[in-house]
């Protein structure tokens, strides 16, 4: 079955750019969505269809997907961005496959 891999953690200073990756074989041929989950809260959709932002998500959040890596990029990181981030891959036989999650720490 298809496997997607996220780094367990990413750390960044306030104001810098955070890049969270989601790796899988030819993931660029699939569609990737991203969710933000803060402690004790339900997940929130952050990016869908690789790069689209739902209303209410700041423009600082962007996404890309090519080759074997999909990337969630958060520009000008703020303390409030600290959360767990999950990628979800659809388009293959596993329509709702989640990555293991990446904890973003704002230093």
Partner 1 sequence: EVQLLESGGGLVQPGGSLRLSCAASGFSFGGYAMGWVRQAPGKGLEWVSSISASGGGTYSADSVKGRFTISRDNSKNTLFLQMNSLRAEDTAVYYCAKDRWNYEFFFDYWGRGTLVTVSS
Distance CA 99, CA 18 (A): 18
Site track 64-93 with partner 1 (rule: CB under 8 A), x = hit: --------------------x-x-x-xx--
Q: CA dist 96 to 31, 39, 82, 87, 93, Å?
A: 10, 22, 24, 10, 9
Where b means 16+ CB within 10 Å and e means fewer, 53-76 reads beeebeeebbbebeeebbbbbbee
Q: Does 56 bind partner 1 (CB under 8 A)?
A: no
Out of 21, 24, 33, 83, which residue is the one contacting partner 1 (CB under 8 A)? 33
Distance CA 12, CA 98 (A): 23
Out of 44, 57, 68, 73, which residue is the one contacting partner 1 (CB under 8 A)? 44
Out of 42, 59, 79, 80, which residue is the one contacting partner 1 (CB under 8 A)? 42
Of 15 and 91, CB closest to partner 1: 91
Q: Does 57 bind partner 1 (CB under 8 A)?
A: no
Q: Does 35 bind partner 1 (CB under 8 A)?
A: yes
What is the total count of residues that contact partner 1 (CB under 8 A)?
23
């Amino acid at each position: 079955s298809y496997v997607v891999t996220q780094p367990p953690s990413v750390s960044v200073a306030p104001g810098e750019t955070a890049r969270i990756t989601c790796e899988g074989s030819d993931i660029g041929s699939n569609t990737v969505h991203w969710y933000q989950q803060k402690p004790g809260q339900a997940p929130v959709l952050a990016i869908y269809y690789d790069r689209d932002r739902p209303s209410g998500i700041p423009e600082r959040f962007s996404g890309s997907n090519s080759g074997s890596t999909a990337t969630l990029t958060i520009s000008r990181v703020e303390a409030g961005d600290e959360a767990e981030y999950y990628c979800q891959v659809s388009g293959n036989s596993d329509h709702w496959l989640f990555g293991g999650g990446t904890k973003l720490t704002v230093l």
